[in-house]
Amino acid sequence: MQDITLISGDWLLYDSLQLPQPNWAVAVQRGKVLEIGTTEGLRALYPQAQHKDARGCVIAPGFVNAHTHMYGVLAHGIPPAAQVLDFWSFLRDYWWVQVEDALDHAMIAAATAHFCMECLQSGVTTFYDILEAPMALRGCLNVEAEVVRRYGLRALLSFEATERVSPENGEAGLQENAEFIRATAHEPLLGGVMCFHTTFTCSAAFIRRAFALGAELGSLVHFHCAEGTYEPEYCLKHFGKRTLEYYDSLGVLSERAMASQCVQVSAEEISLLARRGVKVTSMPLSNCEVGGGFAPLPEMDAANITLGLGTDGYVNNFFALMRGAFLMHKARRQDPTVMPADRVWHMATAGGAAALGLANVGKLLPSYSADLILIDADLPTPITAHNLREQLILWRDPVHIGGVMVNGQWRDLPDDPRAVRAATRQQAARLWKR
């Protein structure tokens, strides 16, 4: 029993689809959840276990940030060189030339440390990152991985391969992913994903090659999809089909596909996502930033599509992200019953893990990974099993995180936050000068 840790709190939110339980605890052994139950019962069952008394806290699964760009922090507040008028000009005149194409390894390392720090501060224990830095090939994923290992987080990393620079650069991006997937195949916390950009920067042959490589390596294949009106209009003009209809004509949509954004999708495309088992990740706050629109998240949820939430490297306060998902669609649909707190919480935890193809992550059930967070429960109104998730989504923030455990180990910041911010500012200044 010496290797068992017992963590008890005011509430245990062990499964997003089940009611939270008051005065319950979780027993952890060798990186896994051993058992859950009443604090009294587990203390009697494991009297010699090391006890973490988290009274005043809610014990919950760690959040899963299912889509982010860690390098994005470097562009916060950067003056655009040209006026951004729409999504296409955002990419062509600003994001590609001022940010992605200017990144180097030193910038990537600093941004990764800053993002990992924000993860631990806001309760994110698992994330999926997409690195878009065509001039930083090769070895850029290893730069990220070195930092992520130091912070002890669970992560999937990928490089967004694109032919917009050249076919050779696109192939180098695919190989960056393939080599990283192979190199991390046996790591407990780190892995890779095959990834390419979009229909308007990648040819049909390139897209099919990415999926073929993903199948060969047993990896999911990620792509951005219909983030604004530009891509569906492009696909209709060039292929006579909407975005997801075009992908389906290529024969690549399946449970192996992970489509992010999915903002400008039709009802028929939602049905197609459901039929093919495609996983979807939604970024409600960044969709607002670029003027992309509101992804039909409630409609996709009603179609039983596997859904996760991501910050997109924009606002990395995960509570703020959940609030956005919780509130925006009520206004869009003019219906306060849509996107209830339990569904948002599910997308932020077990749903996000499922979207990333991660088994045994996102819940605190026996045999699941012991990835958990402690959230301050000192709210001004009474907590009940029925209002707990809503109260946490609306009135908690990173400042209320009291502890983070990943794979059975408590995680503290390995670096001085002031030094991390200073290094990030230094590298952001370099980026801005370019």
Average pLDDT over residues 151-156: 98
What is the C-alpha to C-alpha distance for residues 239 and 265, in angstroms, rounded to an integer?
Answer: 16
Average pLDDT over residues 304-333: 97
pLDDT classification of 2: cutoffs 50, 70, 90: low
Helix, strand or coil for residue 130? Answer: strand
pLDDT at 205 over 90: yes
pLDDT classification of 130: cutoffs 50, 70, 90: very high
pLDDT classification of 136: cutoffs 50, 70, 90: very high
Residue positions counted in the chain: 434
Comparing C-alpha atoms, which of 369, 362, 380 is closest to residue 406?
369
pLDDT at 1 over 70: no
pLDDT at 432 over 90: yes
pLDDT at residue 357, as a whole number: 98
Average pLDDT over residues 121-135: 98
The one-letter amino acid code at 349 reads T
pLDDT at residue 434, as a whole number: 84
pLDDT tens string 46-96: 999 999 999 999 999 999 999 999 999 999 998 877 677 788 888 888 889
What is the C-alpha to C-alpha distance for residues 83 and 87, in angstroms, rounded to an integer?
Answer: 11
What is the C-alpha to C-alpha distance for residues 141 and 127, in angstroms, rounded to an integer?
Answer: 14
What is the C-alpha to C-alpha distance for residues 132 and 159, in angstroms, rounded to an integer?
Answer: 6
Cβ atoms of 322 and 344 within 8 Å: the answer is yes
Count other C-beta atoms under 10 Å from residue 384's C-beta: 12
- pLDDT exceeding 90 applies to what percent of the chain? 94
Mean pLDDT over the full length of the chain: 96
The one-letter amino acid code at 21 reads Q
Average pLDDT over residues 184-207: 98
Comparing C-alpha atoms, which of 224, 302, 226 is closest to residue 264?
226
What is the C-alpha to C-alpha distance for residues 195 and 157, in angstroms, rounded to an integer?
Answer: 10
DSSP 55-99: EEEEEEEPEEEEEE-GGGGGGTTPPPSS---SHHHIIIIIIIIII
Task: Please tell me the pTM assigned to this model.
Answer: 0.97
Cβ atoms of 424 and 55 within 8 Å: the answer is no
Q: At what angle do helices 140-151 and 105-122 cross, to 10 degrees?
A: 30
- pLDDT exceeding 70 applies to what percent of the chain? 99
pLDDT tens string 227-254: 999 999 999 999 999 999 999 999 999 9
Count other C-beta atoms under 10 Å from residue 3's C-beta: 11
Which domains does the chain show, CATH number per domain? 4-62+361-410 (2.30.40.10), 63-355 (3.20.20.140)
Cis peptide bond upstream of 138, omega within 30: yes
pLDDT classification of 347: cutoffs 50, 70, 90: very high
Average pLDDT over residues 30-38: 98
Cβ atoms of 79 and 42 within 8 Å: the answer is no
CA 130 to chain centre: 10
Q: At what angle do helices 167-183 and 140-151 cross, to 10 degrees?
A: 30
Average pLDDT over residues 141-168: 98
Residue 336: what are its φ and ψ, rounded to 5°?
Answer: -70, -5
Cβ atoms of 239 and 280 within 8 Å: the answer is no
Average pLDDT over residues 98-123: 97
The DSSP code for 151 is H
